[in-house]
Chain A
Amino acid sequence: MADQQSPLAKIHRTYVGGEARAASAVESAVGSNAFGELLAMSASNAMALARLANGGIDRGVRALRVAGRADIADLGRQLARAEDKLERMLQLVEELEGRLDAGAAPSAGVAEARSARPVKSAANGMASRSSAASRAAGGASTAASRRRTS
C-alpha cells in the first residue's frame, strides 16, 4: 500500500485528523453555556435591530405615498382571514348538504345540478373527479368535487 504511506497521503490523513479534532472542539464550544447565552442575546439583538430598521424603511416608503411592506402584509392578513371564513362556511355548507342527503334523497334535478358544479382543475393540470364519482367512491359528502387552488 505505497499510496497510503506516501507523503501526500500522510498530509491528507493529518488534515482529516485535524479537521475531526477541530469539529469536536467547536461542537463542544457551541454546546457550552456561554455560547448559548451569547447566541440567545445575539439573536434577540439582531431581531430587535431588524425590527427597528424595517420600521424605519417602512416609514420612509410610506412618506413617499407608496404602500409599505406592513401595508401589504395587512392586506395579506385580511385575505387570509377572508379565506378562513370561507373555509369554515364551506364546511358548514357541506355539513348541511350531508344532513339534507341523509334526510332525503335529492331529486334528480338537484343531483344533476350538483354534479355539474364547476370543478377547478389542479395547478399542474390534473383533472378532478366529479362529485358523483366521489360519492360513488366513498359515500363522502356531496361536496366532494370541491377543489380549491391558491
Chain B
Amino acid sequence: MISPLTIGRDLAGMAAGTVRLPVQLAETANILLTTDRAVIGASPREVVWTHRKTTLYRYRSQSRRHAVPVLLVFALINRPEIFDLRPGNSFVEFLLGEGFDVFLVDWGVPGEEDADLGIADYVCDELHWAARETLRASGQANLTLVGWCIGAALCAIYTALHPDGPVRNLAVLTMPLDTRGSLYSSWVGREAFDAEKVASGYEGVPGKLIDRANKLMKPVTNYVTTRRKLFESVRAGTANRVAYQAMAKWVSDNPRFPAAAFSDWITWVYKENRLANGTLRLREKAVDYGAIRRQSVLVVTAAADHIAPREGTLPFLGMVTTDDLTHLDRPGGHIGLMAGSKARTQIWPDIAAWLAERSAP
C-alpha cells in the first residue's frame, strides 16, 4: 500500500525531474555527439620504422629501468590506441612509469591496395621486421612480445616459428586459439560463409562491417544498455565523459581488414581450427606451439570474454613446453579486462611485475 505521502513526494520529485530531464538528455546527447573530439593515444612517441601501412613507434621514457624492450602488438581489427587509451588510463603510460622501454607496432589503416597482405605477411614480414627494428633501436638482443586478441595469436605464431629467435618473454592477452563452439565460429565457420567472396567485395572487409558483427554478438547490451547506463550516470551526476568518449571513439575507429588476411584468418582459425589442432603452416613452416620452450610465457584470460572465450585459450597452456608458464584469469571482458577502469589496479600491476622479473639484461 503506497501512502499519500509517498505519492506526493514522488509527484514533487517528478516535477523537479521534469525540469532537469531536458538538461540531462541534452548532456547525454552532447557526450554521444562529441565523442570524436576525445583524445586517445596521446603519449609522446616517435616513429622508428615504417613499411607500407605498418609503423613501429617507440614511446619516450625518462626512467628506463628494465633492459628488455616491450613490443606491443594489437589485432588487425580496431586500432592499437587501446594500449594508450587516455592519459591516466593508459597501459603504455603505466609500463613507462614502471621503467619499461615500450614499442608498439601499428598495422595502420590498410587500403584496397593492401588486399594481398595475408597472415603470413603480417607474421613473417611485418612483425619479424618490427621485432628486428625494436632490437636495433633499443640496442638489445632480446625482447618481450605482448599481444592482444588477434595480435596475441600473431605473436604466438611468430614465437613458435622462431623458437630460437629474439623473443625472451611472450605475453598473450585474451588470445583466440580453439574456436570450436564459439559464436563467431557458428557464424563464419559454416560452409555458407565464403570468406574469400565476402572479402573480395571491397578488396577487404570494411571495418564497420566487422564492428557491426562484433556488436551483433550482444545487440541489446551494445546498442541499448550502454546508452541507458550513460544516461543514468548523467542523471546521477557520476558520468565520466572523458572515459566514455575515449572508449567510444576507439570502438568506432575500424580500419579495413585486408582481404587475404581476412580469408586466411576465417579459414584457418574458424573453419579449420588449425591453431588448435596444430596444422597451421606459414610459408612452408609448421606452426608448432610446442616449440615455445625457451621463452617465459604469460597467458591472460578474461572470464566474461565473449569474443575470445577463455575456454578457447586454455589449450595453449598445454601446448607450449616452457617451464616458465603463468596464467592469469581475471573477471572482465575481452577489452574491459585490459582497458577498463579497474585494469590499472586489477591486471596491469601483475603483468608489469611478471615482466620486471624477466627483463634483466
List residues of chain A with CB under 8 Å of any chain B CB.
Answer: 2, 5-8, 19, 22-23, 26-27, 30-31, 33, 36-37, 39-41, 43-44, 46-48, 50-51, 54, 69, 73-77, 79-80, 83-84, 87, 91, 122-124, 126, 128-129, 134, 137-141, 144, 147-150
Contacts and interface: CB of A to CB of B under 8 A. Distances in A.
B26 interface: no
**Range class of the B interface residue count:** 35 or more
Contact of A5 (B6, B14, B49, B115): B6
A19 B327 CA distance: 35
B253 interface: no
A40 B13 contact: no
Contacts of A23: 218-221, 224-225
Contact of A138 (B52, B60, B140, B224): B140
B53 interface: yes
B114 interface: yes
A147 B6 CA distance: 72
B224 A39 contact: no
Given A47-B202, A76-B111, A6 B55 contact: no
Contact of A19 (B10, B50, B224): B224
Contacts of B55: 150
Contact of B47 (A37, A126, A137): A126
Interface of B: 2, 6-7, 9-10, 13-14, 17, 44-53, 55, 60, 108, 111-116, 129, 135-140, 183, 186-188, 190, 192-194, 197-203, 209, 216-221, 224-225, 228
A77 B53 CA distance: 12
A102 B200 CA distance: 48
Contact of B197 (A22, A27, A47, A147): A47
A124 B47 contact: yes
The 9 tightest CB contacts between A and B, nearest first, are: A138-B139, A76-B113, A47-B201, A126-B46, A137-B139, A40-B193, A23-B220, A122-B47, A40-B192
30 contacts: A5-B6, A6-B13, A8-B17, A19-B225, A23-B218, A23-B219, A26-B219, A27-B217, A30-B183, A33-B186, A40-B193, A44-B192, A44-B193, A44-B197, A44-B198, A46-B201, A51-B201, A54-B202, A76-B114, A77-B113, A80-B114, A84-B51, A124-B46, A126-B45, A129-B137, A134-B139, A138-B135, A144-B137, A148-B51, A149-B50
